[in-house]
Amino acid sequence: MKYISILVEGQTEEVFVRDVLTPYWSTQDIFPIATILRTKRVKSGSDFKGGITRYDRVCNDLNKLLQNRGVELITTMIDYYGLPKDFPKIDEQPEGDLYTKVEFLELAMEQDIGSYRFLPYLSVHEFEALLFTSPQDIATAFPDDNKTQQLESIKRTYRNPEFINLDNPPAKQISKLLPQYRKKLHGSQIVKAIGLDDIRAECPHFNQWLTIIESRLTEE
């Protein structure tokens, strides 16, 4: 069994790792462990978890995870949408394609952390983009509403689900149509209904991330 630590932005991603990635990778002997990013410490001493306010807190958590030599690979699952202003080279993003910008920031993060065991990944633009692989499955999770056509219309507006953009991010678009949507409750449920293989086929950056992990951890 090969272990991978994934620093995630919140509980939605934690549930996704536990309920979707873990069974998906079980046949490849890859076992992912999610750790929610700690954003601040309250007076009681417990950690408030979820969201990114400062990049140095991301670094602190990653450095702690890198101390565990029993883990083959450390990676991230944090949103490109809403990155903190102190993120490495965030003001130097090149002109051009969305993926060029995202990969530029991932490389800046990789260089900043400076470990061969670290693989950065930024969700484009956020976790909910993956759900737009199948608007039908989003709608099916809420049988009392009939929002399939509206969700399909959103998807058709963009090149692929990952391009649902910063001006109107996918989570807000889902919540506007389906106010009862709850990230932690419904996110992984919808992903499981869609299936990771279909998501990988429509979301190139997400697929690239999983492909690199699988290649590194299954190579002889």
The CATH number of whichever domain residue 99 belongs to comes to 3.40.50
| 18 in the same domain as 91 | yes
pTM value is 0.92
Q: Do residue 83 and residue 101 come from a single domain? A: yes
Say if residue 58 is in the same domain as residue 138: no
Domain count, the chain: 2
- Does 119 share its domain with 145? no
Provide the residue type at 61 as one letter.
D
DSSP the chain: -EEEEEEESSHHHHHHIIIIIHHHHGGGTEEEEEEEPEEEE-TTSPEEESS-S-HHHHHHHHHHHHT-TT-SEEEEEEESTT--TTSTTGGGPPSS-HHHHHHHHHHHHHHHH--TTEE--EESS-GGGGGGG-HHHHHHT-TTS--HHHHHHHHHTSSSGGG--TTS-HHHHHHHH-TT--HHHHHHHHHHHH-HHHHHHH-HHHHHHHHHHHHHHH--
- 101 shares its domain with 139: no
Using alpha carbons, select from 184, 174, 197, 209 the residue that is nearest to residue 15: 184
Q: Which residues of 71-94 are buried (b: 16+ CB within 10 A; e: fewer)?
A: bbbbbbbbbbbebeeebbeeeeee
If you average pLDDT over every residue of the chain, what do you get? 91
For the stretch 21-46, pLDDT in tens is 999 999 999 999 999 997 644 334 43
165 and 68 in a single domain? The answer is no
Same domain for 97 and 10: yes
pLDDT, one tens digit per residue, over 87-114 is 999 999 999 899 999 999 999 999 999 9
> Does residue 105 share a domain with residue 62?
yes
Q: Are residues 174 and 207 in the same domain?
A: no
116 with 28, same domain: the answer is yes
Asked whether 34 and 6 are in contact (CB, 8 A), the reply is yes
Distance, CA of 10 to CA of 15 (rounded, Å) = 9
The gap from C-alpha 162 to its chain's centroid, in whole angstroms, comes to: 11
Structural domain range at position 184: 127-196
**pLDDT tens digit string along 162-194?**
999 867 889 999 999 999 999 889 999 999 999
Tell me if 49 sits within 8 A of 37, measured CB to CB: yes
> Do 56 and 135 fall into the same domain?
no
The tokens of 72 are what? 């083959």
Question: Are both 81 and 155 inside the same structural domain?
Answer: no
